[in-house]
């Protein structure tokens, strides 16, 4: 596999091209980067169209889940979207935060940032911002976000642990994340592991499920849970571009599982509303305030 910088350059160059591709093309491939399959119209992407806040022109069909559906976003929250693309998940999140919240999208592909900013301007969203930067070293201060979301992006970063650590850094104590991503159970054949298209297509850069969850826990997150899991089936007509028939048969015999998961975790800390201090409690508990005697209000 290529060095970290080469892999990042590969992903940036690839998604510069993907930014101008149609959603129909992207969903018939692995994230817009591989051969088109005639067998399965939508290989990874899920249907956002019925979600509140959906904007069709911001949906490039590049996701592998619906993380914002599970993200427990509240009105007034500050949300960070990692790998924000043309703005699809950011705009869904904005619907949940309302005008009193803030959504910040991070993407390291200038073409995607430009597209997302145009989409935000068209809608007059003055509380949605897009910043160019790496998601493993975000241009964001620590303890900024209430919620972090991401859709099929973390697998594209060579150092997954670094992403998890930075996600922990930017979340407020008591904040949480919900991300959708691709993970594996079992080993992929060499023809897929060493293929650049399959890396940019969110497949060969994916790691084992246990390793993925381990990186989340190593970053310090608690109450980690898988909210949804879906099997990703790569069609034979696509695999034939990368493997011969015997290798495809071997892949099937290995029973390698490629999965989309939506996973949730929390940064330890007190995110509850500030309780009354002792003096305030004593005042509230007085007879003059509520007539219930020294034991407190009724």
> Is residue 42 included in any domain, yes or no?
yes
Q: State pLDDT tens for residues 58-73.
A: 998 888 999 999 999 9
> Is residue 273 included in any domain, yes or no?
no
> Is residue 294 included in any domain, yes or no?
no
Q: How many helices (H) and strands (E) does the chain have?
A: 13, 7
> Is residue 58 included in any domain, yes or no?
yes
pLDDT-derived band at 252, boundaries 50, 70, 90: confident
pLDDT at 171: 98
Predicted model pTM: 0.85
CA distance linking residue 66 with residue 70, whole number of Å: 7
CATH number at residue 110: 3.40.50.150
Domain span at residue 91 reads 4-267
Torsion of CA 133, 21, 103, 152, to 10 degrees: -70
> Is residue 292 included in any domain, yes or no?
no
> Is residue 20 included in any domain, yes or no?
yes
> Is residue 135 included in any domain, yes or no?
yes
Percent of the chain clearing pLDDT 90 (strictly above) = 53
> Is residue 238 included in any domain, yes or no?
yes
CA distance linking residue 155 with residue 202, whole number of Å: 6
pLDDT average, residue stretch 185-213 = 85
Does residue 292 carry a pLDDT above 60? no
Average pLDDT of the chain to the nearest whole number:
85
Does residue 46 carry a pLDDT above 90? no
Going by C-alpha positions, the residue among 81, 75, 71, 122 that lies closest to residue 101 is 75
Does residue 111 carry a pLDDT above 80? yes
Q: Total structural domains in the chain? A: 1
Estimate to the nearest angstrom the gap between the alpha carbon of 213 and the chain centroid: 14
Do strands 171-185 and 128-132 pair parallel, antiparallel, or not at all (unpaired)? unpaired
């Amino acid at each position: 596999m290529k060095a970290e910088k080469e892999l990042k350059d590969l992903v940036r160059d690839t998604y510069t091209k993907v930014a101008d591709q149609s959603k129909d093309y992207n969903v018939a491939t692995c994230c817009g980067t591989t051969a088109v399959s005639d067998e399965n119209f939508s290989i990874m992407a899920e249907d956002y169209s019925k979600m509140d806040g959906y904007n069709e022109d911001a949906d490039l069909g590049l996701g592998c889940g619906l993380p914002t559906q599970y993200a427990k976003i509240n009105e007034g929250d500050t949300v960070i979207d990692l790998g924000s693309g043309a703005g699809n998940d950011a705009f869904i999140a904005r619907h949940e935060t309302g005008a009193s919240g803030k959504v910040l999208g991070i993407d390291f592909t200038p073409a995607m940032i430009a597209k997302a900013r145009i989409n935000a301007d068209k809608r007059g969203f003055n509380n949605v911002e897009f910043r160019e930067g790496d998601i493993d070293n975000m241009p964001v201060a620590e303890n900024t976000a209430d919620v972090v979301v991401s859709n099929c992006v973390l697998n594209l970063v060579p150092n997954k642990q670094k992403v998890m650590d930075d996600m922990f850094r930017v979340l407020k104590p008591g904040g949480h994340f919900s991300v959708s991503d691709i993970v594996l159970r079992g080993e992929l054949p060499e023809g897929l592991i060493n293929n650049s298209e399959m890396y940019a297509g969110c497949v060969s850069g994916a790691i084992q499920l246990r390793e993925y969850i381990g990186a989340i826990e190593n970053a310090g997150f608690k109450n980690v849970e898988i909210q949804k899991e879906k099997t990703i089936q790569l069609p034979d007509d696509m695999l034939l571009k990368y493997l011969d028939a015997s290798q495809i048969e071997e892949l099937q015999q290995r029973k390698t599982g490629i999965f989309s998961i939506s996973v949730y975790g929390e940064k330890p800390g007190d995110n509850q509303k500030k309780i009354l201090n002792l003096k305030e409690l004593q005042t509230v508990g007085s007879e003059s305030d509520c007539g219930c005697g020294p034991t407190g209000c009724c």
